[in-house]
Structure 1
């Protein structure tokens, strides 16, 4: 009854139009073009030629507002190997007043530190477990007060692009979601699961002074996990406590998260791993773990030609998996964000142990790990983007 009442209430409020709403539509079109250079220690061929520099993404952002009803959409076009075209977000919203807002569609999940729990181009390790900057299909109500911010949301499912009865999730998506992947090497997808009917809640308490601000919060999510082979419904949950500090030019982000995925897979498939997918390719992940993230940043104003500021930062992440014989995952990124007009450049030195994007064993790093992914690997990455 709560879900039904919540949705009916949201839709009813959403349809209300106040007489003070503006008469003329507002439209804003923007976007970005980004290029990326990287040099990775585990890629011998790449090292011999001094790294690779190429196309990253072209994106279009569209915002509109008319009679109090808003639109916010972002479409991204990556290279084919990274999933090609995908909708990052796309929602219709309504501001009831300065404090209360409703969004319906593909909207950011209110979990943990938002918008980002990180400073660098790679995000934090939580992103790769589906716990940072995740976007799903549903309805979200947000309140921003002087001392308390909170959000509640119901998500019917993750981004859905195929509407068959037993269709696997598409790998072409921006945020990581539970999906399907061949586990036994027979060429057929296994661990075929989908997230459904997820409820989220998040609250932040804000305190401090004008130059030193604190934000202390907690998040929770719970939802179903439908297996497409057994047609049985499992569940998943995640909990987090988080803290943010902004002290003039310095900021800090800290979060502890715990998650568990209980999928009702066929009896011949494992229960201690699940498949997650984004950017054109899935990998395996431990079904239960605790993650720890800590990021610090410091802004330095400069006047070097077009360069107006440099933010230096370090983001650290650690994954403690519940399965005893699974190897830990560690990720650390030290870098700088250079701002020059509309050009933003991330210069990152990323190191990792059992991290999919930082070693040769992409499939198993966030699950059991392996002898190759257990070694420390380094990646020097430069991402240059013009934002308009």
Structure 2
């Protein structure tokens, strides 16, 4: 049996030229998180191996489970995982390069984690996922100490995620080790249970993604569509649903199209302590179905330096009608839009991360 312990310590500094009322976005420099990871495997026979992985993250204001699963590797081509795992949707592990992710992350389209059963097949460039998730990462839709946004319940918003199915299929075309192209499609469908009415609504998502690796250049693109159709009581606006994570929640548009586009350049580096420098540009936009809502947009140029286990991230972000880019929950713009929907807000992020 193999058993591995690991973790990370993150320090973070932010510059925000406007008031933020959430504890997750304090101005200044502070300890962002401390995490512990445990992974292991046990070989049953020459072909079959039992595996497990878990990670807990500790913040100043919350403790959360990032993932926690047990699995079986039947061969190098077939695996099954049971527990809280990453939802197989779109570009994996993510459609962006930055510390801050894209707008898709903040509405459940990037690096989401839920609780269920996931099957993975990979052979000859073909990559297939099939998954069923009974509920979100916690079986408690009022809990906000979660890694990625899910439907959450509070006040007149009483919706939660149930019975979700996912399929993701991709093909990698590889010329050599440093030149490859991946094209894939994803689909997701699930229930929305409303505690107030006792009725089940429908939600679905779909995506086309492209990932390229061409020597030192790495472009990514993803086009997504999502729809939430809750069965709310009379008087609750069906054009909005409430998402929550990181001890915070916001209303988002219930129906929209989303684009993510990014480009990264890897530089070999031999300077002082550092061995690697990556420079990138990430862009994302949410086109909301409701014509009276203001679309959301995020522009994020940045860079990351690596010195062995030490990573230093620099993100410079301009966003409008986006999560954490306005004064408060009431003024935030993922849903109908911010008070000044056409104005870009700016924030800068520095993250120092040590992995062990």
SS of the counterpart of 1:368?
coil
* RMSD (Å), alpha carbons: 1.5
SS of the counterpart of 1:125?
coil
CA displacement 1:337-383 (0-9 Å, x = unmatched):
10011111110101101111222244441100122354211111100
Please name the residue that 2:113 is paired with: 135
2:336 matches 1:368: yes
Which of 268, 289, 312 is matched with 2:256 structurally? 289
Are the equivalent residues in 2 in contact too, given 1:160–1:169 (CA < 8 A)?
no
Which of 310, 314, 317 is matched with 2:284 structurally? 317
Q: Report the CA distance between 1:41 and its aligned residue.
A: 2.1
Q: Which has the higher helix share?
A: 1
CA displacement 1:120-150 (0-9 Å, x = unmatched):
0001111001111000000000011122101
TM-score normalised by structure 2 residue count: 0.94
Q: Report the CA distance between 1:44 and its aligned residue.
A: 9.6
TM-score normalised by structure 1 residue count: 0.87
Are the equivalent residues in 1 in contact too, given 2:294–2:341 (CA < 8 A)?
no
Which of 23, 41, 51 is matched with 1:70 structurally? 51
Please name the residue that 1:302 is paired with: 269
* Count of residue correspondences: 345
Gaps (5+ residues) in structure 2? 22-26, 44-48
Gaps (5+ residues) in structure 1? 1-24, 46-50, 163-167, 182-188
2:129 matches 1:151: yes
**C-alpha separation in 1, matches of 2:128 and 2:275:** 34
Going from structure 1 to structure 2, the CA distance change for 1:101 and 1:43 (only over 3 Å counts) comes to same
Please name the residue that 1:237 is paired with: 204
Are the equivalent residues in 2 in contact too, given 1:359–1:372 (CA < 8 A)?
no
CA displacement 1:85-126 (0-9 Å, x = unmatched):
010100001111011110000000000001111100001111
**C-alpha separation in 2, matches of 1:359 and 1:345:** 26
**C-alpha separation in 2, matches of 1:329 and 1:85:** 29
**C-alpha separation in 1, matches of 2:293 and 2:39:** 45
Which of 85, 88, 91 is matched with 1:107 structurally? 85
Which of 241, 245, 255 is matched with 2:222 structurally? 255
**C-alpha separation in 1, matches of 2:241 and 2:281:** 30
Are the equivalent residues in 1 in contact too, given 2:20–2:326 (CA < 8 A)?
no
Going from structure 1 to structure 2, the CA distance change for 1:361 and 1:245 (only over 3 Å counts) comes to same
Q: Report the CA distance between 1:323 and its aligned residue.
A: 0.4
Q: Report the CA distance between 1:161 and its aligned residue.
A: 4.7
Larger radius of gyration: 1
**C-alpha separation in 1, matches of 2:351 and 2:220:** 22
2:29 matches 1:29: no
**C-alpha separation in 2, matches of 1:147 and 1:69:** 24
Are the equivalent residues in 2 in contact too, given 1:32–1:59 (CA < 8 A)?
yes
**C-alpha separation in 1, matches of 2:63 and 2:342:** 33
